[in-house]
Each structure stands twice: as C-alpha cells, then as structure tokens.
Amino acid sequence: MMLKKQYLALFTVLFLASCVSQPTVKQPSKPVRHGNVQITESQTIIKPAPVIVQPNKVVKPTPTPTPTPTLSYSTFADWKSDFSTRAIASGYNSYDVQRLLDSAYLNQQVISLDSGQPEFSKMPWDYADSAVSTGRVNTGKNKFAEQRSYLSGLESQYGVNAEIVAAIWGMESSYGAVTGNSHLPSALASLAYEGRRQAFAETQLLSLMTLLQRGDVSWSQLEGSWAGGMGQTQFIPATWLKEGVDGDGNGHKNPWSTADALASTANYLSNAGWVRGLAPFYEVTLPSSFDYSTVSTKQSFSQWRSMGVSSVNGNYLDSGTIFELWLPAGKEGPALLLSKNFDVIKVYNNSSNYALGVSLLGKAIAGQGGLQKSWPRYERPLSTSQARNLQNRLTNAGYDTKGADGIVGTNTRKAFQRWQGDNGQTPDGFITQRSASSLASW
C-alpha cells in the first residue's frame, strides 16, 4: 500500500489534554450512587462540581486527530490496514488501535442512511409538534424537577438557561432513554471506508481512541447513533474531546453520565457564544404595510420597532440588541425575532427547525406558553425532485441557490425570496407546493 507511506506525516501533530479537572463534591448525608446519578434520601439530584484549576499538573500529551485527504480502497480490510498504520504512526497505542479495528465491521445500513435523503422536506410545524409532544413535555417536566438543583447550578456557572439544556437532553436522547444502538467503531469505520465523509469519520475514530485511552469511555460502552453521536446529549467524539466536562467529579468525562452530559451541553453552548438572559426567539407581530424584503435580515430591535414590529407578549427588548426576522411558515404563520442564542443552539444541529423545536420544548418544560399565531397547516412541502427542479431553475434565472441537492435550505430560501420580490409575490421566502409550483414542476 503506497498510500500508507504518503500520509503517515499527516497524523504527527500532538495536543495537550486539558489541565482543568474538577474535584469530587462533598455529598449530602448518606449519599448513594445509582449509575451516574447521586441520590440522597429525599430526592434524585446530581450535585454540581465547581471548576477548579489545579496548578503544576503534568498531563501526558495525546495525539491530535487530524483529517486526511480522501483515499480510495478496494476493500474494507484494505482501509483497516492503512488506517491502522497511519494511526499507530501518529502516536496511538498499537494494541488499542488493533482492538478497536478488530471489533469494527462494515455496516451497509449506516452507509445507506448517510447517503439517503427524505422524499419530502418537513414543514416547520412537523418539527414543532414532535418537539412538544405530550409525552416529551411531561417527561421533560419530571426530569427537570429531579435535576432542578443541578441544572440551576449549571445555569449560574455557564449562563445557559436550565430549560434549554433540559430540552436538548430531551431532543437528543429522550432524557437519556434512547442513546443509540449502533456500534460506534463500526459505524464510523463504515463511513470512513465509504469515503464521502472520510476525513470526518477518521477524525471521530481517532478522537474515540483518545477517549478510550484516557478512560473517559469504556470499551464495553460503545453504542451510539449511526452518525457517531454518543451518550445522553449525543456528542460526536471530537466535540466531546474538546467540550466534555466532568460534571460529577469522578475524574472522568463520560458522555453516558447524566451529570457529565448536562454539564458538557451547558459548556458547549456557553463556549459557542450563549448570551445570558436572552431568549432564543421572541414572537412578534408585523404591520399590514410591512416590507417583507427585510425578512431574514439582521437589525437592531430599535430598527425593527421603527418598521412597526412589536412583541406579542410585551417583552422588553433592548433597543441595541441585534435580531434576525424569521417567518418559518411565511406571511401566514408566526413571525419570530431570532437572537444570537437561536444560532448557538444550531451548533448541535444546523437546522432552524431543530433550534425552534429545542426552544419550544424549553418553554414548555418551564411551563411557558408556545407560539400564539397558528400554523398554515394546509400548505404542503416539495418533494426532493421538485426541490431540485426549483434550485436548478432559480440558479439558471440568476438566483443562485449554491447547488441543487434537493434540500430546501437557507440558500434556496433566500434565492426564492429574491425571485418572489421580482415576480409579484410577497417575498417571505416560504417554499410550498402553492408558492413554488411554477418553478418546481416540469
């Protein structure tokens, strides 16, 4: 394998593991450990551990997972052999590398899931309905009550709303009940061998190796999502390596631990730029004479107010705070001013519908009301082939959608919004069977 020698050098960079650790917190009287949760005689509460920097602590360097150029292999065994050589050459323990790869098998279902696309795009209310289903909300309220003290401590420490952390917990794993049943080494190895996301998958495998060598993840606990998500809030290994927090103070950062997962979620959002005390969105009303060409732009609240935009609930909004106006269902649906925190939620899943679902679930868990304006549920989405037609025709007409993948994303909506403004439609950017029929059908 000539490729082995050509890419050995790409895995030589080392990084220093974190020098920050957290001591075990003194527990209440008669503490008992049940799984990863501290239980007192009266309630199930995980006690937060303060972050304390320990000076003069020497940590052995561990290899840095780095991406590689996409390589092609004839067989899965060939990829295993080459990856093993490169990983060992970059500093990973040969026994652990071989142990991980020996356990990995080619999972064709993972490859199919990664390359597959839904036939129809979901409408925003489909996400919203699922996020705030009765079962998810009721379970969320119970879990929130159980962990109220711990979540409040995290909010004080990191500034991230406790109900948002709880909502991500609910969205990602149904509050720890569903963490995935795919063998992580096999899933990631299959993605690496297939090649479409080879650099991503190999980076995740190397990060998983570091977590195993560090003792944060157990060899007996390697099941997660087919895409590499681990534990109760579904971190991928490389992100966990960077953002993971030892929430229960036991000396390890384990994504399957409730305390560690919740603390790491708060830490991740905080590091992504979460603004303390700011809601992810505020529902607003628009005047009848509103200029819809400003939809999806970012302006200060004083500017929005000068255009007649006002808060539905009378919330005080700072005049200088920047918000983006979003109409998730066009002019007939709710109008939302999105704050920076809405974008921060999207570090978990780069989807506005996902961020909306998390935000609505957080409000429901906290006992707050949802959206006041109803959804235009009579509208229907485009199929994948129709969306691809739309993208091709918009681009050919001078409204570049940045590709024609059949997925209605931000670039496609903005291109369609410009087309609407030039063709006598209200430029709200909402793509449906009705609004886009002339462009989507042959």
Report pLDDT for 416: 96
Return the pLDDT at 5. 40
Residue 285's beta-bridge partner residues? 310
Which of 189, 218, 250 represents a domain boundary (last residue)?
A: 250
Query: Which pLDDT score is estimated for 121?
Result: 75
SS3 257: coil
Q: What is the pLDDT of residues 69-86, one digit of tens each?
A: 567 899 999 999 999 999
Q: Strands, DSSP E only, in 30-69?
A: 32-34, 37-39, 52-53, 62-63
Specify if 329 maps to a domain: no
Contact 356, 167 (CB under 8 A): no
Task: Among 197, 227, 250, identify where a domain stops.
Answer: 250
pLDDT at 62: 54
Nearest alpha-carbon partner for 268 in 227, 239, 307, 231: 239
* pLDDT of 72: 85
How far is residue 254's CA from residue 267's CA, in Å, rounded to a whole number?
A: 14
Residue 243 within a domain: yes
Tell which residue, 148, 155, 149, 143, has the closest CA to residue 25: 149
Which of 216, 250, 284 is at the close of a domain? 250
Helix axes 384-396, 410-422, angle to 10 degrees: 60
| Residue 406 domain boundaries | 384-440
3-state secondary structure 83-151: HHHHHHHCCCCHHHHHHHHHHCCCCHHHHHHHHCCCCECCCHHHHHHHHCCHHHHHHHHHHHHHCHHHH
Confidence band (pLDDT; 50, 70, 90) for 409? confident
Give the pLDDT mean for 395-417: 94
pLDDT in tens, 246-262: 999 999 999 999 999 99
Distance CA 14, CA 34 (A): 37
Phi, psi (degrees; rounded to nearest 5) at 81: -60, -45
Residue 278: which residues within 8 A CB-CB, separation 6 or more?
Answer: 321, 339, 340, 341
Q: Considering the domain boundaries, does residue 81 fall inside one?
A: yes
Residue 425 phi/psi, 5-degree rounding, is -100, 160
- Match 């082939």 to its residue by tokens: 385
**Domain-embedded: residue 425:** yes
- Inside any domain, residue 101: yes
Average pLDDT over residues 134-160: 98
Ranking 20-34, 274-288, 346-360, 418-432 by mean pLDDT, the lowest is 20-34
- Classify residue 248 as left (phi > 0), alpha (psi -120 to 50) or beta: alpha
Is residue 354 in a domain?
Answer: no
In this prediction, residue 117 carries a pLDDT of 62
Worst-scoring range by mean pLDDT, 3-17, 78-92, 253-267, 341-355?
A: 3-17
Q: Is 22 helix (H, G, I), strand (E, B) or coil?
A: coil
Look at residue 41 in the predicted model and tell me its pLDDT: 30
Where does residue 113 rank: exposed (0-12), middle (13-18), buried (19+ CB within 10 A)? middle
Residue 245 lies in a domain: yes
> What span, in angstroms and rounded, lies between the C-alpha atoms of 138 and 133?
9
Please work out, in degrees rounded to the nearest 5, the angle formed at the alpha carbon of residue 418 by the alpha carbons of 416 and 420.
Answer: 70
Report the candidate in 227, 131, 115, 241 with the shortest Cα–Cα distance to residue 179.
Answer: 227
Count CB-CB contacts under 10 A for residue 108.
Answer: 9
Q: Please tell me whether residues 89 and 231 are part of one structural domain.
A: yes
Amino acid, single-letter form, for residue 217? V
The predicted pLDDT at position 133 comes to 97
Tell me the CATH number at 16: 1.10.8.350
pLDDT in tens, 158-207: 999 999 999 999 999 999 999 999 999 999 999 999 998 999 999 999 99
Domain count, the chain: 2
> Per-residue pLDDT for 112 more than 50?
yes
Query: Does residue 122 carry a pLDDT above 90?
Result: no
**Residue type at 313?**
N
Q: Comparing 71 with 239, which gets the higher pLDDT?
A: 239
Residue 386 CA to residue 383 CA, distance in Å, equals: 5
Distance of CA 195 to the CA centre of its chain: 23
pLDDT band, very low/low/confident/very high, at 316 (cuts 50, 70, 90): confident
Residue 119 has pLDDT above 80, yes or no: no
Residue 206 lies in a domain: yes
Q: How far apart are the first and last CA of the chain?
A: 49
The Cα 269–Cα 243 span in angstroms is 9
Determine phi and psi for 22, rounding to 5 degrees.
-125, 130
**Average pLDDT estimate for 303-317:** 93
Beta-bridge partner residues of 38: 33
Give tens-digit pLDDT for 18-62.
Answer: 333 343 333 333 333 333 333 333 333 344 444 333 334 334 445
